[in-house]
């Protein structure tokens, strides 16, 4: 059997695959995202490790079959700072938006073009140098004590194997790694006053980096000596699980964050988006990440409609006309990453009147996320890329209403993938199985549950409201910093 683990924003998930790559057992253990101040997003890496141990114990309970390999996926680029294998503070998450002033410093000192030419990234809330500078200003003792800087899945793999490394996509998305030269960028490390020794050798997702140690075997129940691969960025593992293997295919992931993934055969970065290596060699993934998607819907329910499940909220929203009777939402409730790269952006609701109800606002939130996905599609197509097919997946895609809204906003069909549990866990487990020769990429299968066509009358309304959506942010972006300064 193969074990796949995903260290996610709200939980550690895991699954077991049998020798034919079929899922035979799943498990999930929740953990907490800490947001103590505006823009902050932190988690406890020790909670990830406890979650991993408990997930594995659930997966293995009562089973005697041999475990052939293990793969870990996780959020990228989460920032874990440790000494001798133990975290010195909570992780700073990829959607953390605290380092606003520090981003400005790097923009002025190095410039976006300089960074883009080396990494394919620009100075934004995703890259790590501004967050490290924030730590140097506010918690200098942490970096003085540190002996390793890593990501989420590298940290968990270290707890299993005792091996330190940096997976290639964590390195690339960190903004600290020169992809062309395959080296850590000395100018940035010197600017920060950090040693290159803090960063481990870079490995590819499918490489076996180590084996389960005796100590980890005692902690988890995994057999000592089991091979563990370098693992994968969660969104890239999800692209593999979705069967995205052809140039021109795109996936919209309605998770806690919103991911837009597009397969390309070329390493051709776009400033508005991110770029990663596919888990399959010779392919790349142009991608975007919206800071909120499902987390925004959960926030609405917990704050305003507690006690209802999402199906109930959908039923209420289905009675509301498309366009939510003139309500338009900018879904930037945790700043925004792609494509605007503005950590100071804020959630904005336009058009409220006294006749509106919670159902109107809920529908407007669903529509706002769909508008944001369309923005990504337009950015990509403006660069000359052609999208042949669009798939949707993850928890939010279970909603028929959200699928209908999305197809109509995009004005093209969306294909709902029958992933079930086949997300990042499945992708990284399948990759681990490839690493130990249990199967190859030709064995990967995907199943489409349904195709949702755009509704013509909805599409007409959404076209007009989308134009308002695109107008809103440019008009408001200078006001958002003023809001922040009031409480600075």
Domain boundaries, given as residue ranges, for the chain: 2-233, 243-418+455-488
Please report the beta strands in 231-343, taking only residues with DSSP state E, as ranges in sequence order.
232-233, 249-254, 258-264, 274-277, 284-290, 328-330
Give 307's contacts (C-beta < 8 A, 6+ positions apart): none
Residues 6 or more apart from 279 whose CB is under 8 A from it? Answer: 205, 206, 232, 236, 237, 239, 240, 427, 431
**In the numeric block, which tokens belong to residue 410?**
């995009």
3-state helix, strand, coil in the chain (%, to 5): 40, 20, 40
Q: What is the largest CA-CA distance in the chain?
A: 65
- Over the stretch 306-342, which tens digit does the pLDDT of each residue have? 989 999 999 999 999 999 999 999 999 988 999 999 9
Average pLDDT in the 370-379 region?
A: 98
CB 136 within 8 A of CB 245: no
Check whether the bond before 77 is cis (ω within 30° of 0).
yes
CA–CA dist 97, 106 (Å, integer): 15
Partner residues linked to 448 by β-bridges: 417
Under CATH, which number does the domain 2-233 receive? Answer: 3.30.420.40
Instruction: State how far the Cα of 51 lies from the Cα of 153, in Å rounded to an integer.
Output: 13
**Tens-place pLDDT, residues 147-160:** 999 999 999 999 99
427 pLDDT exceeds 70? yes
| pLDDT band with cut points at 50, 70 and 90 for residue 447 | confident
At 421 the pLDDT is: 62
> What's the mean pLDDT in 51-79?
95
Helix ranges restricted to H, 196-233: 214-220
Residue of 19, 121, 30 lying closest to 65 (CA atoms)? 19
Q: How confident is the model at residue 488 (pLDDT cuts 50, 70, 90)?
A: low
User: Are residues 167 and 232 in contact, defined by beta-carbon separation less than 8 angstroms?
Assistant: yes
3-state secondary structure of 369: helix
Q: Find the mean pLDDT for residues 416-433.
A: 88
Cα(88)–Cα(162) distance, integer angstroms: 17
Predicted local distance difference test score (pLDDT) of residue 108: 97
Residue 466 has pLDDT above 90, yes or no: yes
Of all residues in the chain, what percent carry a pLDDT higher than 70? 99
CATH of domain 243-418+455-488: 3.30.420.40
Q: Is the per-residue pLDDT at 95 higher than 90? A: no
446 pLDDT more than 90 = no
Separation between Cα atoms, residue 20 and residue 467, nearest integer Å: 48
The number of beta carbons lying within 10 Å of the beta carbon of residue 116 is: 16
Cα–Cα distance measured from residue 218 to residue 409, given in angstroms and rounded to the nearest whole number? 52
Residue 454: name the closest of 374, 396, 378 by CA. Answer: 374
- For residue range 228-246, list pLDDT tens digits in order: 999 999 999 999 999 999 9
Binning pLDDT at 50, 70 and 90, where does residue 351 land? very high
* DSSP one-letter code for 460: H
Place of tokens 């100590």: 215
Looking at residue 39, its pLDDT comes to: 84
HSE-CB for 282 with a 13 A CA cutoff: 2
Please answer whether residues 14 and 59 qualify as being in contact, where contact means their C-beta atoms are separated by less than 8 angstroms: yes
Taken in order 405, 408, 410, 413, is the CA torsion positive or negative?
A: positive
Predicted confidence (pLDDT) at residue 382 exceeds the cutoff of 70: yes
Which of 26-35, 58-67, 413-422, 435-444 is least confident? 413-422
Cα–Cα distance measured from residue 25 to residue 221, given in angstroms and rounded to the nearest whole number? 16
pLDDT of residue 420: 61
Mean of pLDDT values over 275-288: 95
- E-assigned strand segments in 320-460: 328-330, 348-350, 389-393, 414-417, 448-452
What backbone phi and psi angles, to 5 degrees, belong to 196? -65, -20
- Is the Cα torsion angle 192, 193, 196, 197 positive or negative in sign? negative
pTM (2 d.p.): 0.91
How many Cα atoms are found within 13 Å in the side-chain-facing hemisphere of 133? 21
Mean pLDDT score, 444-448:
89
- Angstrom distance (rounded) from CA 80 to CA 44: 9
Q: Render pLDDT for 431-441 as a digit per residue (tens, 0 to 9).
A: 999 999 999 99
What average pLDDT does the structure give for the chain?
95
Radius of gyration of the chain (CA): 22
Nearest-angstrom CA–CA distance, 165 and 202: 6
């Amino acid at each position: 059997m193969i074990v796949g683990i995903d260290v996610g924003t709200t939980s550690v998930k895991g699954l077991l695959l049998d020798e034919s790559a079929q899922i035979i057992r799943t498990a999930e253990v929740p953990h907490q995202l800490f947001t103590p101040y505006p823009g902050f997003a932190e988690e406890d890496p020790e909670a990830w490790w406890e979650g991993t141990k408990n997930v594995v114990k659930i997966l293995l309970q009562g089973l005697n079959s041999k475990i052939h390999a293990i793969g870990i996926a996780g959020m990228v680029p989460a920032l874990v700072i440790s000494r001798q294998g133990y975290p010195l503070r909570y992780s700073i998450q990829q959607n953390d938006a605290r380092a606003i002033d520090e981003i400005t410093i790097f923009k002025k000192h190095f410039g976006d073009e300089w960074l883009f030419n080396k990494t394919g990234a620009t100075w934004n809330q995703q890259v790590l140098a501004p967050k490290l500078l924030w730590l140097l200003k506010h918690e200098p003792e942490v970096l003085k004590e540190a002996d390793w800087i890593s990501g989420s899945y590298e940290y968990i793999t270290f707890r299993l194997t005792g091996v330190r490394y940096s997976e290639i996509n964590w390195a690339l998305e960190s903004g600290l790694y020169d992809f062309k030269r395959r080296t850590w960028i000395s100018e940035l490390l010197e600017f920060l006053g950090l040693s290159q020794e803090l960063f481990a050798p870079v490995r590819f997702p499918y490489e076996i980096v180590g084996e389960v140690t005796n100590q980890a075997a005692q902690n988890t129940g995994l057999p000592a000596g089991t091979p563990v691969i370098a693992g994968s960025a969660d969104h890239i593992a999800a692209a593999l699980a979705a069967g995205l293997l052809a140039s021109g295919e795109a996936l919209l992931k309605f998770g806690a964050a919103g991911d837009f993934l597009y397969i390309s055969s070329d390493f051709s970065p776009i400033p508005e988006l991110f770029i990663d290596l596919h888990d399959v060699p010779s392919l790349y993934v142009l991608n975007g990440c919206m800071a909120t998607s499902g987390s925004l819907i959960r926030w609405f329910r917990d704050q305003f409609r507690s006690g209802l499940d999402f199906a109930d909220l959908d039923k209420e929203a289905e009675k509301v006309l498309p366009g939510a009777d003139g309500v338009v939402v900018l879904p930037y409730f945790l700043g925004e990453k792609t494509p605007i790269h503005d950590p100071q952006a804020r959630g904005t609701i336009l058009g409220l009147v006294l006749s509106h109800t919670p159902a109107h606002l809920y529908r407007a939130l669903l529509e706002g996320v769909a508008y944001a996905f369309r923005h990504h599609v337009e950015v990509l197509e403006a660069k000359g890329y052609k999208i042949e097919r669009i798939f949707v997946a993850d928890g939010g895609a279970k909603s028929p209403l959200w699928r209908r809204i999305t197809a109509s906003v995009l004005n093209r069909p969306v294909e709902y993938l029958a992933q079930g549990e086949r997300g990042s866990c499945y992708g990284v487990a399948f990759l681990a199985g490839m690493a130990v020769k249990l199967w190859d990429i030709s064995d990967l299968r995907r199943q489409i549950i349904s195709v949702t066509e755009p509704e013509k009358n909805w599409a007409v309304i959404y076209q007009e409201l989308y134009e308002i959506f695109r107008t809103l942010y440019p008009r408001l972006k200078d006001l958002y910093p003023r809001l922040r300064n009031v409480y600075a």
